[in-house]
A and B are shown apart, each in its own frame.
Chain A
């Protein structure tokens, strides 16, 4: 099963790749691990004339702790995220998610930046980066800019990246003390994608009240989102089974839920509320106050 023919380019630097992107316009596509792009090209749903392979570019891979911010190169693979020692201690939610992305082979090739740029509404990471309050760093013809994660997912398979920009890294604030996290996923047993996935990050005060809570939901709607009514209900409360369950009731407020052969909308609604409840309760338990 072959894609349509294309011309293959291997830039030697980010600037080189940006020049190519500018030159080819709509007919050019960036290739990294290829695990989102190659399948749609083989199914002939996409037909780029030029593939710009950035997978060999130096300096776009790996995890670095810079003060209390973790920087993750866009080409870092799922497998690297799943096994990275810095992430395990400073943003353990990401390895927890990376371990359930795809399968062993996918995790060895697929990249963090590629998955985010693809903005698949059923991918796992979007829930996590929303809960972790990440920032996306992108380079374009006019230099570098930072996109807050709350502005990044804008529609079905659409991010805030401009066509002439390259996602270069992701910045994540290291988790504060007394903070717990959890990713809960109801997985499509065939594809491994999330029917619904929920990530929660919760910080507790010394007397056990929730001082901060961020929740990310993937799979439920056209794009990943934060159920802010849930977060607002949690902050300031002393969490227990009943209070978290009550807060989770607002998890799909204002969201147009997907309805497809895998799950009708009302089922997705119930699953989302349940996974929000479970993820928050586990995050509270792990916050360990």
Chain B
């Protein structure tokens, strides 16, 4: 059982290929094979949501998907949300509204929040909390995360662009 699976997947718009052991999880494909460490590993048991990425536009936990199952699919990670050196309006809102403290859960929270706003560009507080049930944050108590997502919804609705971090 040492054979490998070959995978071709589109990550942040770029086609990538790899040969991996079948038991490789998507999160390990991203971090170990492709060196994209923006996606974090938390519990590894599908509960914490730190490893959340988008697969074909929907938020998924990348520790709960085999790399082989990403073959032929579109993956979006935190690295792809804004050009290098800039912040997406969602990231900007998290910064300004103090939507993070240690930041460990933040890439996952942002990928879930962006998926929410595609489906529902003007979510209520309850809808934001429901959408983020799968992302555990041990610092913020969620209060400022919810405020940041609301703020991001306003900015994205009025068409804000990514901003330079300098």
Contact = CB atoms under 8 A, between A and B. Distances in A.
Interface of A: 1-8, 10, 31, 34-35, 38-39, 42-43, 49, 51, 53, 55-56, 79, 102-106, 108-109, 191-192
Contacts of A56: 72
Interface string B58-102: 111101111011001000000000000000000000000000000
A8 B59 contact: no
B116 A5 contact: no
Contacts of A191: 47
B145 interface: no
B1 A105 contact: no
B108 to A, nearest CB: 9
Contact of A6 (B1, B46, B49): B1
Contacts of A104: 59, 112, 115-116, 130-134
A105 B45 contact: no
Contact of B59 (A1, A53, A108): A108
Interface of B: 1-3, 5, 21-25, 44-47, 49, 52, 55, 58-61, 63-66, 68-69, 72, 112, 115-116, 130-135
A7 B112 contact: no
A4 B21 CA distance: 11
Nearest to A1: B44
A42 B49 contact: no
B25 A2 contact: yes
B64 A1 contact: no
A1 B21 CA distance: 14
B23 A6 contact: yes
28 contacts: A1-B63, A2-B23, A4-B23, A5-B21, A5-B22, A31-B66, A31-B69, A34-B65, A34-B69, A38-B46, A38-B65, A39-B64, A49-B1, A51-B66, A53-B68, A53-B69, A55-B69, A56-B72, A103-B49, A104-B59, A104-B115, A104-B116, A104-B134, A105-B60, A108-B55, A108-B58, A108-B59, A108-B60
